[in-house]
Chains A and B, each alone.
Chain A
Amino acid sequence: MFRRKRSAEDFAEEIKAHLEIEADDLRGEGLSGNEAYTKARRAFGNVGAARERFYLQGRLVWLDKLLRDLRFGLRSLAQSPGFTATAILTLALGIGANTAVFSVMNAVLLKSLPVSDPDRLVYLRTSNPPRGTGTVDTEETFSYPVYDALRREGKGLTPVMAYVPLSGSKVAVRVGAEPEEAEGDMVSGTFFSGLGVNLPLGRGFSEEDETNHSPLAVISYNYWTRRFTRDPDVLGKTMYVNAVPMTIVGVAGEGFEGVESGGSTDFWIPLQNRRELNAWGNPPEDGKLYMTDPTWWCLRMIGRLAPEVSRAQALAQLQPLFQTAAFIGLGGKPMEGEKPPLLGLADAKAFSGSYNTDYGRPLRMLMTMVGLVLLIALANVAMLLMARNAARQREFSVRQALGAGRGELLRQLLVESLILVTAGGALAWGFAETATRLLGRWAEIESSLAPDRTVLLFTLGVLLIAALLFGLAPLRVALAGRAELALKTSAATSNTDAGKSRMARMIVALQMTMCVVLLVGAGLLLRTMRNLQTTPLGMDVDGLVVFRVKPNIPSLAEGRAFYVNLTNKLRALPGVESVTVMEERIGSWWSNNSDLRVDGRLPNVANSASRTVRSNVVGPNFFHTLGVPVLSGRDFADSDNAASPLVGIINEQFAERFLPNVNPLGHTFGPDNVPVNVTIVGVVKDHKYRSIDEEPIPMAWYEYAEIPLVGPMDVEMRVHGDPLAILPSARKVVQQIDPNLPLIRPMTQRAQFDMTIAHQMMFARLAGFFGFLAVVLVATGLYGTLAYRVSLRTAEIGVRMAVGARRGQVVWMILKDSLMLTVAGVLMGVPLAMLVGRALTSSLYGVKPLDAFTYFTSVVGVAVVALAASAIPAGRAASVDPMRALRTE
């Protein structure tokens, strides 16, 4: 109905012709010319109504009206570009921030596993691993014998599936000629069938594939897209994983990238049993791989509840099996006084695990913060609209007087708000895309962050609420002006806004409340950031550079010789002060945790403190190189080697907890499961091991040349000048020994430690940004509202000044008003902020949730913003010329 065959003009023409013919006829009947025409007209009736009916005929009336409203709305918004721009930008910032944070939250916390019936899936957890074992994660990983027993006899879960990465990061992969790196997991044969993963191409694995360790691979949809451009011929291709050939047999469904949150597994292979493909890429320990080593708890497990079986029933069936299997290869039963581990089942529907604690809480906090920002933004725009529409009261009155119905005014207001919200929403979406990418980088989320339907619905929901709010909020104001008002002056109406001004005051006060809350939250986190940055590490970290080498080690002796040779050659480089090696790189979150025997037995610990000790295997001059003070005894030296007596070094915490009130030198410690004791020859000052924000914990160090295990190690060098400048010559040294060895993850030790607080820093920066955004929004809102209210009182101020009020009095009158609002806002904000501070406790470092300084600064900040936003309108009010003010209307 957009195109009409016939124009309204043509229709009018026809009616004109009708009237003329009719008049002719009437004249034929004897009437005079004029009389005939008048009668013809009278006989026709309402010509205008007929034309209108013709116009409306066959049109989508509502659409027609909407288009007219739209055109009118655009014109009217274009008339106040300042208002329009402010409103749209405010909306874009508020909604964009929410969409971005929600996208990430959706990807990380809300999205359920892309498998069939995820409600019936459970992660297997354990309360603690048995003594004498090593784990990857104390609560989430199991030994192969435990998996084997549960999958054979665990009737409550059908099936029980295991999965384990081939490396802590990526593994070497080659398809065709180009070598590359990818993330890969070894999985049970039942992995794809048990999870119910849809495979658009090829097949998954079978139980025989697991039993036979078949050389097969399934690749992820993402990897298929990225690496193979969705080539359907990928099936049957050979993929070399750590140089072991695997045949690609399937492609997993879109969105499936493993069952760990935020992970992005590129390919899966059945559980293997060969040296090159050990779990986590570790070297075999005592010649044992993960399948044959019951002391290495390294497999993650997930299971599907058997049909008609509840989680409690499944757990009851599995618990005795687990508690027996846990001690396979560990003496068959718990040691004396040892608590047997307890199996647990955790919801797998949504991702969980450590991801939740690392990102869940901060993300929820961020979501709350941006939610508050959104509230402030919405309130701002609503107030701007109210102010604008109050100023248009006269326009509304005139339109009502001319016959516009209330329905039409309402539609007009809704359409205007729709235009604002649409423009704001479009801008917000663009803003959100950028912000989401930044957030994704923060959370190191590699899985797809593209906004999906949930995010879109969320955003549209917010926009809809905004549109309704903005359409309806100013309605009362608009309709309050009845038609008669059109005839009165606006000065007469200026005292009718007492009611809505109370409403506006409340909104301003609430905005300040939220601003206080946001500023306190942001302030606490920013102080946390500062604390983290300035935390003493207990060592002199500047001038240190670190890189990892993965030499080919055919035998223990050759391995030791490699490191001795490498260390000596590196020391000889010009500018190098000292060199050492370590098994776990410090500041990388990795640590070896276990219970240690002290003087031959597990120590009794006062106040049932933990017996856990973090240990590391390091080279000579370790503490000297790091700059950690040796409090008593000595550092490791070149003379500590396979031939010398076994020696170890402990930190203060170790001495305090396990050897209180004695001189620790000369005492011994050793691993719980190996009958070896090393003699303590040194005590060093407490320093950071895994990360900057860790609490001091007992630590112990072995010397690498003395223990019967040697694998990849990190080399730490202290140099003069720029630490990174030494890397080229270090690389030359390494390649002289073995031309195939790259330097792995070379960086300064400072950068390595900084990575451990990168999350907190990013969180704090984001929080700071949102706090700042809130302040900006509140300031604009406040300024707009106050300026508007002052403008309404121009006449009143004129009168006051005409009857003798002084400038100061007028300014004070205006300032007093906003001060009272500030006080009210602060009074409400501080208790709320305290609640928020409590919720933030776990994210804080070195600052209390009730940090007085932060509260004080926030309150002062809000007050300053409020006063600044009032000062300008107040100054303007005071400079009003009384005569002009009175004459305005």
Chain B
Amino acid sequence: MTTQENSDDRIALLQGTLDLLILKTLVLGPCHGQGVARMIQRQSEDVFLVDHGSLYVALQRLEDRKWIRAKWGVSENNRKARFYSLTPKGREQLVEKTGEWRRLARAMGLILEPGGGFKGEEA
């Protein structure tokens, strides 16, 4: 029932969240689609199971918006792959979206854990 879990996670991935995660991943350097998916999955400690179809559509969307650019290259294990990298515009977006997300998370935290605050979860 992985698919079921996936779709649950996708619901958790709010509109725009995937975009932010992709941008964040690409800050570390150019990467192909599969690498982006792996990285997101790993860094979220497997909480986020990325739907690959959505990922590629999202990559295409970001490319159309000129936030990222793509180039065919060769992967570390010598496979042909399409590498994505951030554009300056994409960097600006990342800063902006990260700020937005922080504000949203803080506000959510304030409401869900009155008095606790965002950091309370770590206790």
Contacts and interface: CB of A to CB of B under 8 A. Distances in A.
Interface string B6-43: 10000000000000000000000000111101100000
A57 B53 CA distance: 12
A10 to B, nearest CB: 8
Given A17-B82, A20-B79, A22-B34, A43 B57 contact: no
A309 to B, nearest CB: 67
Given A14-B33, A25-B38, A6 B60 contact: yes
B33 A54 contact: no
A49 B34 contact: no
A59 to B, nearest CB: 12
Given A18-B34, A21-B32, A58-B64, A46 B53 contact: yes
Given A15-B56, A46-B53, A57 B34 contact: no
B80 interface: yes
Contacts of B82: 13-14, 17
Given A24-B77, A54-B60, A18 B51 contact: no
Contacts, number: 65
A50 B79 contact: no
Nearest to A40: B34
B64 A44 contact: no
B53 A50 contact: yes
Contacts of B52: 18, 43-45, 50
A286 to B, nearest CB: 92
B89 interface: no
Contacts of A47: 53
Nearest to A50: B53
A50 B32 contact: no
Contact of B60 (A24, A44, A49, A57): A57
Contacts of A458: none
A22 B52 CA distance: 11
A45 B55 CA distance: 11
Nearest to B59: A14
B11 to A, nearest CB: 16
A17 B60 contact: no
A11 B81 CA distance: 11
A672 B33 CA distance: 110
B102 interface: no
Interface in B74-102: 75, 77, 79-82
Contacts of A54: 56-57, 60
Contacts of B51: 45
A53 B57 contact: yes
Given A17-B81, A20-B79, A22-B34, A11 B53 contact: no
B103 interface: no
Interface in A1-58: 5-6, 11, 13-15, 17-18, 20-22, 24-25, 43-47, 49-50, 53-54, 57-58
A13 B80 CA distance: 9
Nearest to A53: B57
Given A18-B32, A21-B75, A57-B61, A49 B81 contact: no
Nearest to A24: B77
Secondary structure of the B contact surface, majority rule: helix
A53 B82 CA distance: 19
Contact of A14 (B35, B38, B54, B56): B56
Nearest to B77: A24
Contacts of A5: 64
Contacts of B79: 17, 20-21, 24
Contacts of A6: 60
Nearest to A6: B60
Contacts of B75: 17, 21
Nearest to A46: B53
A2 to B, nearest CB: 14
B41 to A, nearest CB: 10
Nearest to A15: B56
A425 to B, nearest CB: 39
Contacts of B37: 18
Given A54-B60, A58-B64, A49 B53 contact: yes
Which of A13, A18, A43, A57 has the largest count of B CB atoms less than 10 A from its CB?
A18
Given A17-B80, A57-B61, A11 B32 contact: no
A8 to B, nearest CB: 11
A786 B98 CA distance: 74
A46 B54 CA distance: 10
A53 B3 CA distance: 19
Contacts of A53: 53-54, 57
A852 to B, nearest CB: 79
Which of A6, A13, A17 has the largest count of B CB atoms less than 10 A from its CB?
A17
Interface string A481-508: 0000000000000000000000000000
A603 B59 CA distance: 106
A36 to B, nearest CB: 13
A6 B59 CA distance: 13
A21 B57 contact: no
Which of A14, A25, A50 has the largest count of B CB atoms less than 10 A from its CB?
A14
Nearest to A21: B34
A15 B64 CA distance: 18
A49 B54 CA distance: 10
B7 to A, nearest CB: 10
A17 B79 CA distance: 7
A814 B6 CA distance: 67
A53 B37 CA distance: 18
Which 7 A/B pairs are nearest by Cβ-Cβ distance? A50-B53, A44-B52, A21-B34, A18-B34, A14-B82, A17-B81, A53-B57
24 contacts: A6-B60, A14-B33, A14-B56, A14-B81, A14-B82, A17-B34, A17-B75, A17-B79, A17-B80, A18-B33, A18-B52, A18-B56, A21-B81, A24-B79, A44-B52, A45-B3, A45-B51, A46-B53, A50-B52, A50-B54, A53-B53, A54-B56, A57-B60, A57-B61
Given A13-B82, A21-B35, A57-B60, 8 more contacts: A5-B64, A6-B60, A17-B81, A22-B34, A43-B52, A44-B52, A45-B51, A50-B53
